Structure 1
């Protein structure tokens, strides 16, 4: 059985442009949800991407719906694939990479393994996954869901959510929260740069600046 929903409205470009300057680790200083499991790691180093989530759920050894879904992608989309618990079969390889990039997608995220790392590297297409596997899926026509709510790395992903992915991990943000999250994170990053400069220039020590030294000294004085 296939469940096929309409393509989601894309996140406004001005919001994505703002989000593109944010590090996932900055948001991790205060936000506790929306982060995918840390086992979902980038296959290409030093990449940061933002885009609109297009969601897919496919099971076990079958990737029929994934092949179909690549033809529906638009520039700026990120395809998020829920493997429904499977960690054996690689549904995403070189051919899917070429198709997704040709459609204009900016990245793919798979809650399971990928394959064909060299082809992914040659395509210069950012991917996040649970590593690699040589055992691949087939076109078994088993069904699946497209543009439905999914779970990827323990995070709920709705079609049309914003995705921020970088070398530290993957963050899912509801579209109506993107600007607020981005503005707060950018402010924190600017403050952090100033603090780092003070430590680098030996104006202050890190423990003094953060307040950690005062806590330690207070305990020692008791």
Structure 2
């Protein structure tokens, strides 16, 4: 592993990232061809948090948050810090002090494939975090990693500057070159879903709206009436 900090990265367009954030994780994931979704163990440490931003990436050693401190300097307003580890880890590598530093830089949230602590304080601060675990176990600052290099976080390759969207449904990553196209597709999908939602609210069945009855019959589904009891 090359121990390096890459500065002045190219980021996805900020307005496009905001559009993706307004769509939410589920819609963006579908619009992206069901691609880019991190493993479902990545959960918000407090419910209701939402965030969208451009990825500043960290490759950290297990139980060592030294490179997270290094990465703070590279963050700009609208960024999202994404931390991957060189091996499996659940130690509490992030807490309220680092969150305070990131908030001062205008960072929108943290994605960390490891542990997080100080959850109550993070909730009160309004700083959203998605992590693999919640753990009070502390960490050290002893071994170098890297900042703004491609990392694997919860099964997804994340490149510096990619768009990252996170909410209660999980975390999805959109490559910066694809962000504009995915935003357009997602907005069209959202508009289509609004029409379907109105139909369902009026009492129309999904069976009819999606024209499912004929293919269900072809697949062999049979309806029978319950026989009258004596």
Q: TM-score, normalised by structure 1?
A: 0.92
Among 104, 107, 110, the residue aligned to 1:108: 110
Residue equivalent to 1:20? 21
For residues 9-47 of structure 1, give each alpha carbon's deviation from its aligned partner in whole angstroms, at most 9, with x where no partner exists. Answer: 232222123212212212333623211111101123223
Matches within 5 A, 1:156-167: 156-167=157-168
Is structure 2 residue 192 aligned with structure 1 residue 191? Answer: yes
Unpaired segments of 5 or more residues in structure 2? 223-230
Q: In terms of mean alpha carbon deviation, does 129-138 or 41-50 score higher?
A: 41-50
**Secondary structure in structure 2 of the residue aligned to 1:164:** strand
Deviation at 1:221? 7.5
Name the structure 2 match of 1:122: 124
- 185-194 or 28-37, larger mean C-alpha shift: 28-37
**How far apart, CA to CA, are the structure 2 residues paired with 1:74 and 1:219?**
54
2:205 — aligned with what?
205
Task: Determine if contact 1:34/1:171 at 8 Å carries over to the other structure.
Answer: yes
* Structure 1 gap segments, 5+ residues each: none
Q: 1:80-131, CA deviations, whole angstroms, 9 ceiling, x for partnerless residues?
A: 0002223231111111111111111001000111111011112110111112
Q: Which moved more, 1:28-37 or 1:89-98?
A: 28-37
Give SS of 2:134's match: coil
- Contact preservation (8 Å) 2:46, 2:119: no
TM-score (norm: length of structure 2): 0.89
Displacement, 1:158?
A: 0.4
2:47 and 2:217 map into 1 onto residues whose CA distance is 41
Aligned length: 220
